[in-house]
Chain A
Amino acid sequence: MDPRGDTELLRAHVAGDPAAFETLVRRHADRLWAVALRTLGDREEAADAVQDALISAYRKADRFRGDSAVTTWLHRIVVNACLDRARRRQARPTVPLPESGTAEPVATGPQVADQDTALTVQAALAELPPDQRAALVLVDVYGYPVAEAAQILGVAPGTIKSRCARGRSRLAGRLGHLRNQTAPPDVRSETADSEDGGTQRGRGAT
């Protein structure tokens, strides 16, 4: 295992070390791949996105200014490549995107096997707007701090929080978590109202 740190490897690459960049990429490949796969939900597309992104990073490594960690920089390039693809795909969707978080749920209860749960969650995740999906993949799926996710996605931390919050709200509807809630006895269930179209939805965070 190469003892050099990420920044040292990147500098070595810029200085002409022919193996340094590949060493760097192999070090982070699993995590980069996981983020791409969960963001795009398609192995082939994820592989193409990772390849395009990392070749781009290889070529433009001399532009790395050290404002963030090397791994954050690599993630930013990979996630941006994924978002580009997701937005292009969204422009020609083959599956209609849900209009609200309270659409017909794809799961009806919590009593499903672990693997089924994971598949169901991934399917619901794939139907979110790309920006919300990417934020949730980073923060909730892989546990990146909000500040780092904000650096990766190039937005303010508050925007990451909002994207995650609104994404979770949509997923809650899709996954049936809102259906089992009992309204307080003194009020009518607003969830039921919302399923009749009574709930106003705000615009997605930018």
Chain B
Amino acid sequence: MSDDLRPPSPDAAQHDPDYLAEVRRMVAAARLGRAVDDDLLADYVGGALAGTGVEEQVAELIATRPEWRSAHAAAVPAEAAVRADLAHVGAAPVTAPPELLSRLADGFRQQTPPDHPVVPLDRERRAARRRRAQWLAGAAAAVVVLAFAGIAGASLLTGDGESGSARRTDSAPNGAAPSPGDTRGPNHAQVAPKDGRPTDGVRLAASGTDYTTSTLGQAGDQAGQQALSGTAAAAVPSALRPLADPARLDKCLHQLGAPGASLVDFAMFRSRPAAVVVAPAGSAEQISVVGPECGTDGAHLRYQTTVVSLHAS
């Protein structure tokens, strides 16, 4: 949507020059031929030719050419009838669906507020590297960070088409900054209690990332900086909150066949709420994307891939 915020064209000008040139050509052609130009006649009937300098010429065609007179006589009441039809459509009350409002509220919560303090890029990058180094030292056993990851193995695609690149929710171009106000170190990850359940040792996060197939390999990196603290828990998309319940998540990981998962990021995949599950698979990692219904009647797997770590710097 590159033109979303484009400024309006100079609206002091009633007519676009291209339009003026077009209607002049149309009038010239109409005067030479016999056929009625429906678009030109429509513009005349709809009042679009006022101020163009050709309105009078079309009026002359209507006055002097039987075919134009006939078409005009038909077009005037037809235009009024169409206006009435369209107004009738607009008279029906339309209310925004609650689920859309809910999606919007979730979406807004995942955005970085516009007043997020601006940090010089190099300073932010150094800070990000420092945080990342601390995090790696403390959590290396749990998550392999894939700074440069190669994607290997067959991918199982069950969703719809690709919708674009990942949209980070923070404003740092390349940084991995946690949400504003989250100044805790990355080693404060909340870990599920060790009671022998599949969620044992699983790091839970709500990174707010909108993953795509090409960015899933960075899941550990994206989510690893932001453990699911009390603050971050509020960022879990509402559609995924039932899945954040430990019992439900246990069942989900069982159904997924990933009881040894190291990370669950309650995030988005292709702009839809999804949980990204990272599980060790030998020297690689299996990354699975499941829908909010995971743990009900199945895993609701949307996408799965295996990522091989080349190095973890």
Contacts and interface: CB of A to CB of B under 8 A. Distances in A.
A150 B8 contact: yes
A34 interface: yes
B36 to A, nearest CB: 5
A59 B68 CA distance: 52
B48 A162 contact: yes
B90 A169 contact: no
Contacts of B82: 140, 168, 171-172, 175, 177
Nearest to B47: A161
Contacts of A15: 115
Given A151-B8, A156-B9, A169 B75 contact: yes
Nearest to B7: A67
Interface in B116-153: none
B108 A166 contact: no
Contacts of B107: 51, 54-55, 58
A156 B13 contact: yes
A117 B85 contact: yes
Given A47-B100, A158-B52, A172-B82, A202 B15 contact: no
Contacts of B97: 33, 43, 47
A204 B111 contact: no
A100 B88 CA distance: 24
A154 B7 CA distance: 7
Contact of A191 (B29, B39, B74, B77): B74
A164 interface: yes
B46 A165 contact: yes
B16 A203 contact: no
A178 B74 contact: yes
B1 A80 contact: yes
Contact of B69 (A68, A84, A159, A187): A187
Nearest to B77: A181
B297 interface: no
A74 B310 CA distance: 46
B103 interface: yes
A157 B11 contact: yes
Interface in B77-98: 77-79, 81-83, 85-90, 92, 94-97
Interface of B: 1, 3-11, 13-16, 18-19, 22, 26, 29-30, 33, 35-43, 45-48, 51-52, 66-71, 73-75, 77-79, 81-83, 85-90, 92, 94-97, 99-101, 103-105, 107-108, 111, 113-115, 271
Given A168-B78, A169-B45, A200-B30, 8 more contacts: A125-B86, A151-B8, A157-B14, A172-B75, A175-B85, A178-B75, A183-B74, A203-B22
Interface of A: 13-16, 18, 21-22, 25-26, 29-30, 32-34, 37-38, 43, 47-48, 50-63, 65, 67-68, 76-77, 80-81, 84, 100-102, 110, 114, 117-118, 121-122, 125, 136, 140-143, 147, 150-151, 154-159, 161-162, 164-166, 168-169, 171-172, 175, 177-178, 181, 183-184, 186-191, 193-194, 198-206
The 9 closest A-B pairs by CB, nearest first: A165-B46, A202-B39, A169-B42, A187-B66, A181-B74, A158-B15, A161-B48, A16-B115, A172-B78
